[in-house]
Amino acid sequence: MRMRNFFRSFRFAFEGILLASKERNMRFHLVSAVIVVIAGLWTRLSALEWLVLIITIALVIGLEMVNTAIEYVVDMASPDFHPMAKAAKDVAAGAVLVFAIASVIIGLIIFLPKWI
Ligand SMILES: Nc1ncnc2c1ncn2[C@@H]1O[C@H](COP(=O)(O)OP(=O)(O)OP(=O)(O)O)[C@@H](O)[C@H]1O
């Protein structure tokens, strides 16, 4: 019974990943991740550099998914305009932007010295 619940939770989590991957911003992050992985294979990164890249990619995508979840909840709780709804959406989007900027800097630190 416990095992069945465990696999059910996994199925729901995968459904969440599928649902989120249909969002425009998420598609952008996924395409960027594929490009970065191809660039990484082409550049022959070290194990440590791969670790940093994988953690960075997972954090950007995970954060975008949390942002999407917040958008869903806000849209459900406040279909009409409300300053708190705007604040919640904008702060969540800001969190993604902060890490997206950090991930670009991380990418430059890893790739630039190898390319120039
Ligand atoms: N219920 C609401 N009340 C107040 N402001 C809102 C509400 N819903 C969205 N907004 C604001 O309107 C702007 C656009 O939000 P919206 O969610 O439509 O697009 P978005 O943030 O660009 O996300 P996406 O295009 O990925 O769905 C944002 O500044 C957001 O905070």
Q: What is the CATH number of the domain that holds 85?
A: 1.10.287.3610
The answer as to whether 7 is a domain residue is no
The answer as to whether 13 is a domain residue is no
- pTM of the predicted structure, to 2 decimals: 0.90
The answer as to whether 4 is a domain residue is no
Q: Where is 81: in which H helix or E strand?
A: none
Q: Is the confidence at residue 17, as pLDDT, over 70?
A: yes
**Is 64 known to be catalytic?**
yes
Q: Which of 37, 76, 38 is nearest to 57 (CA)?
A: 37
Distance CA 108, CA 54 (A): 15
Distance CA 39, CA 32 (A): 10
Domain, as residue range, for 86: 23-115
Task: Say if residue 32 is exposed, middle or buried (CB neighbours under 10 Å; 0-12, 13-18, 19+).
Answer: middle
Per-residue confidence (pLDDT) for residue 49, from 0 to 100:
98
Which ipTM value was assigned to this complex?
0.89
The answer as to whether 63 is a domain residue is yes
The answer as to whether 92 is a domain residue is yes
Of the residues 45, 64, 67, 107, only one is catalytic, namely 64
The answer as to whether 68 is a domain residue is yes
How many domains, the chain? 1
Q: Is the CB of 86 under 6 A from ligand 1?
A: yes
> What share of the chain has pLDDT > 90, as a percent?
92
> What share of the chain has pLDDT > 70, as a percent?
99
